[in-house]
Amino acid sequence: MVSPTQAVFLGYMGLLGAERLVELVLSKRNAARAFARGGVERGQGHYRVMVVFHSLFLVSCLAEVLLLDRPFPGALGWGALGAAVLAQALRYWAITTLGDRWNSRIIVIPGLAPVTGGPYRFLRHPNYVAVVLELLAVPLIHGAWGTAVVFTLGNAALLYVRIRAEEQALGEVYAQAFVHHPRFIPEVRRG
């Protein structure tokens, strides 16, 4: 039998799954626009792994909470929910800033300058910061420690490959535009 907090978590996960489907539709539309503008895709080798990984994450969150009957962890769960909401806000700030240039693939349109506004003023990869935070926080909302650990570590390996492929594809113009931007943790500048 599902507890009341598990039912709420199931609802949250349902919304998160629906959001991912909407993101895939948006990504597909934006990718088609990028290709129509001469975009070239790079790093295709890891893309399917990434899709499967993120799908398994959603399944694992649910399975661990329901099959192992993880209890709601009280204050930690509320804190994790707050972190997950902040991750979503950062994700949509990045997506909105990129506009129709955002998609889940690595598609480079030759001649376009890198986007340096929004959260990209502070970080090279704000969307990946959001993903890191989300993969840690979402399972902890309802005490799914195993999922949080396994998928955080797996995501680190996946991001290692993904970021190298992305930065290589974006090339020297990108490297020069972001030479003073940290990859993940914003730098606090004085003066």
- Global confidence as pTM: 0.90
- Is 184 within a domain? no
- Is 169 within a domain? yes
Q: How far is CA 122 from CA 18, 158, 161, 184, in A?
A: 29, 23, 22, 9
- Is 123 within a domain? yes
Give tens-digit pLDDT for 143-183: 999 999 999 999 999 999 999 999 888 887 777 777 766 66
Nearest-angstrom CA–CA distance, 130 and 180: 20
Give tens-digit pLDDT for 98-128: 999 999 999 999 888 889 899 998 888 999 9
User: Residue 187: its pLDDT value, please?
Assistant: 53
CA quadruple 144, 150, 152, 158: dihedral sign:
negative
Is pLDDT of 185 > 70? no
Is pLDDT of 77 > 60? yes
Nearest-angstrom CA–CA distance, 164 and 175: 12
Nearest-angstrom CA–CA distance, 139 and 146: 8
Q: How far is CA 176 from CA 21, 22, 74, 170, in A?
A: 34, 33, 46, 11
Query: How many structural domains is the chain composed of?
Result: 1
Q: Are 68 and 142 in contact (CB under 8 A)?
A: no
- Is 108 within a domain? yes
Range of 138's domain? 4-178
Nearest-angstrom CA–CA distance, 145 and 65: 9
- Is 189 within a domain? no
Is pLDDT of 189 > 90? no
Q: How far is CA 117 from CA 14, 41, 94, 121, 178, in A?
A: 32, 23, 9, 5, 11
- Is 154 within a domain? yes
In this structure, what CATH number is given to the domain that contains residue 16? 1.20.120.1630
Give tens-digit pLDDT for 37-48: 999 999 899 999
- Is 186 within a domain? no
- Is 187 within a domain? no
C-alpha closest to that of 147 among 82, 68, 84: 68
